[in-house]
Amino acid sequence: MIEMKEKKFLTVAPFECAWRKDLKFREAGRGCVAFEAFAHNDVTLVFRENVGSQHYHYKRDNSPHYTIILGSHRNKRLKIEVDGKTVVDVAGVGLCCSSAFQSYWISIYDGLISIGKGRYPFQNLVFQWLDSNPNCSVRYIGLSSWDKHVGYRNVNVLPLTHNHISLWKHVDCGEVEGEEDGEEELKDEFMGYANWGLENFLESWELSDMVFIIGTEERPVPAHKAILVASGNWPLSSSEDVVRLHDVTYPVLHALLQYIYTGQTQIPESQLGPLRALGLHFEVIPLVKQCEETMERFKLNKKLFDSGKSVVLSYPSNRPHCCATFPSGLPVNVQKLKQLLLTGKYSDVNINIEGHGLVAQPHKIVLSLWSFPFAKMFTNGMSETMSSEVSLRDVLPEAFKAMLEFMYSGELDMEAIMGSGSLLLQLLLLSDQFGVTLLHQECCKTLLECLSEDSVCPILEVVTSIPSCKLIEEMCQRKFAMHFDYCTTASIDFVLLDETIFSNIIQHPDLTVTSEEKVLNAILMWGLKAKELYGWEMVDELIITSAPKQLFGERLQSVQDLLPFVRFPLLPHALLKKLEKSSISRHIYNFDNLVKEAIYCVEYRLARPEDGQNVRFQHRRSSYKELQYICDGDSYGVLYFAGTSYGKHQWVNPVLSKRITVTASSPPSRYTDPKVLVSRTYQGTSFAGPRIEDGHKCAWWAVDIGEEHQLMCNYYTLRQDGSRAFMRSWNLQGSLDGKTWTNLRGHENEQTVCKAGQFASWPVVGPNALLPFRFFRVILTSPTTDVTNPWNFCICFLELYGYFH
């Protein structure tokens, strides 16, 4: 399910710079960053080879770098600096906005710096500059400021190749490849259609459903009811197709229709009065106002016009960059247009979807303005040209209706789209199928903005089949690779990915993982199309009773091809020996060879990670920090680590520094103190009192390690307080949202804790130890040994261990 997460933004204080390790170009010297910014002035981005510090400032940087400043000199200039020296200082009025977030993009390609404004990268170019001595090592991106705070959000780093630039500039959604003449003709026709607008239907018999009869000569002029009704108040009926205008000349009607269909018209000054009268009659109010204003100026100063010359009237558009997109830039009332879709009034086509019947009654003219396939369907002599019935199959009705709403408004209803699960992906498929280019771009941009570890697999399953989504596909693969642990443990959606995509992820240069065992487990689960999470041990058991061909089916060869990408020499020697004796080794020859080779290399130290260039001996980057249990009360746990601000300074109680939050089943009190649970000082009395949950009595202590953090817990420690209320049955649980809990380890009639002040620790094993969680709690499930207050959960210390992200 795709979820639109709350749009969090980063605020950069004056003279500071924010660096994130994921904000970097895939290829040094080449990349594009798209982002939104909110500022009075000086939206500043720094590009350098390495990550800088928080208090880094480009004015004090002696290393090679590029600095790009949007809205310098009180939001009046655009500046580019190279190594601190200004090389570009040009007018750039109003580049920043302090009332709303604005979208920008900046690309660097071997010294060619391109800067643009808008949602879509590589479009709406503002400025370009070529460095004669290019810095091809820049890779990391810093988000900076000058003398005022700057807000940033939706920052995305995109790969930059000429192919990607082409994809964003011409998201064709239906490009036809091939060398056949017919295919080339269709491609040329499609490219011609890209320049279509409502003006192509001005006085055209194509798709017209009414006709004006003009003057005494009874000249016929075709038109389209839906367009006219949305632009004014026309006395039309669904059954009447002819409107007679005896007292109107053709030039005046032509000017009126031209204004409606194109947004502008040209007419002799002497015809302004009749045009105003006709516009007033049909209540085309924008035209009436412009006629009146023009006539008033003419009265005040006749020198403005030369008698006999034409006057140009243009509809004022508030979206100049979208003037070619229906209905913006035209005197068409969007609300009236949407009402026509809602009621089906003046509809000339019924859309039926197999299994759902009639789902919409739109208008052929509107569908044809947006969609080349629909335009061909309605105009090239197909059955739909003469019929009012269109039947579709394998189409989700909700997605088709959302596409229609976009066609009638020119805007995407983000609240409705993002609140409907996978509707955005279905909409992307439909926009590609029917060639609705702008909708396709909107879907692509939105997918990038809401791309997360949870959504990456569903998105990959869809975009793989769409040639024009290669950029998103590559971004998803990189996102998956950089969060490999999470993506292969939080769910098993990845087993549905096709071989090419999964292979690209396994071989991705940015693959980030805590251990090579995780890579091995993921390959085996993918090969089995696993329906639940497990490791190689479960596969080892399954392979005893089933041959590899039965287990892996058609993916057996793919698994054998992927196994060499596991860096077996980096696995612990003890684990390698287990793998050597496993049933997998006995049944899969390739696996056995790789394990034996790794053991030989480790035992004879034939290669070390620091030796040579063989990637099999090079450790991958890890997005998780390993915090492993050493002994009871040690300083190596997650909660202690949080108290040091994650390794930055001396320990401070993390509850007081607000790094973590501790809660209990009973309200805070003298003996129910959240900060005691993570303190380094022994507390004689500390307990969480009982409460009723789901009809059952319980008591618990819970820890929230923070919105930006997760832990795959593999060990935990408790300490009994000074009482003799010893616990016997309880669970350690984890949760992503603090509401739905997963058992990590259960204890039934546990006798370990039997002394006041005693420490006790337990490992967390099994598939759930591989799952990352934000919330953890220990919950008492049966009374303690205390007779007086048997449901008081009496512990004064808790620590968690594992892989921290």
Distance CA 381, CA 412 (A): 32
Residues facing residue 24 across a β-bridge: 140
**Chain position carrying tokens 């920052």:** 155
Burial per residue of 29-43, b for 16 or more beta-carbon CB atoms within 10 angstroms, e otherwise: bbbbbbbbbbbbbbb
> In angstroms, how far apart are the furthest CA atoms of the chain?
110
Give the pLDDT score at 183: 44
pLDDT at 609: 42
Q: Which residues of the chain have pLDDT under 70?
A: 1-8, 54, 58, 93-94, 161-196, 302-308, 317-325, 381-385, 419-421, 605-614, 623
CA dist 89 and 185 (Å) reads: 47
- The burial class, CB within 10 Å (0-12 / 13-18 / 19+), for 334 is middle
Distance between CA 43 and CA 22 in Å, rounded?
20
Using only C-alpha atoms, what is the Rg of the chain? 34
Q: Give residue 784's pLDDT.
A: 94
Which residues touch 73 (CB under 8 Å, ≥6 apart)? Answer: 41
pTM > 0.85: no
Q: Amino acid identity of 43? A: V
Rounded CA-CA distance 253/155 in Å is 50
Would you say the C-alpha torsion 292, 294, 299, 300 has a positive or negative sign? Answer: positive
Nearest-CA neighbor of 714 among 661, 757, 773, 758? 773
Helix, strand or coil, per DSSP, at residue 556: helix
The candidate with the shortest Cα–Cα distance to 508, out of 525, 483, 526, is 483
**pLDDT of the residue at 173:** 39
The residue type of 229 is V
